[in-house]
Amino acid sequence: MAEPTIVQIFGTGATRLASGATTPSAGLFIPDSTLQTAGLSTPSTATAEGHLVAIAVNAKSYLTQTNFDANPDQSLIVTDGFSSFTTRGTNNTPYRQDQLTLSLAKIDTNSTIDPDNY
């Protein structure tokens, strides 16, 4: 099989931009409509953290254990973790903590995380 694609991980409409006359620098483009599909209601005014959560939720839909087991070229798995509760601040305000677990798999060559290996 092949490496998961930009669209499979980041969602419909996601694309890699090449630098050129109209695009001064290369990068990754994820349309607001894709982030909205992941639950981000107003991407134009959302926080950076909200964008990251929407990207992780999109990735979770494809980077499953099942796909990982079937595709030796897939190196990442995103799964739900365990929810918990905590308090924060001087008033001990209760917070719910939800977890997404990102597991990175590679051939064992060293002990550091290098994004180029995935």
Structural domain count of the chain: 1
User: pLDDT tens digit string along 10-19?
Assistant: 999 999 988 7
Give the per-residue pLDDT at 19: 73
pLDDT digits (tens, 9 = 90+) for 45-91: 889 999 999 999 999 999 999 999 999 999 999 999 999 999 999 99
User: Which pTM value belongs to this model?
Assistant: 0.83
Handedness of CA 51, 56, 57, 58 (dihedral sign): positive
- In the numeric block, which tokens belong to residue 114? 């290098």
Residue 70 included in any domain: yes
Cβ-based neighbours of 25, under 8 Å, separated by 6 or more: 19
Which of 37-46, 92-101, 103-112: highest mean pLDDT?
Answer: 92-101
Report residue 96: phi and psi, to 5°. -95, 135
Residue 115 lies in a domain: no
Q: Is residue 37 part of a domain?
A: yes
- The boundaries of the domain holding residue 82 are 6-19+26-106
pLDDT digits (tens, 9 = 90+) for 23-42: 677 889 999 999 998 889 98
For residue 94, being part of any structural domain is answered with yes
Q: What is the pLDDT of residue 56?
A: 95
Task: Please count the CA atoms within 13 angstroms of the CA of 54 that sit on its side-chain side.
Answer: 21
| Domain annotation covers residue 53 | yes
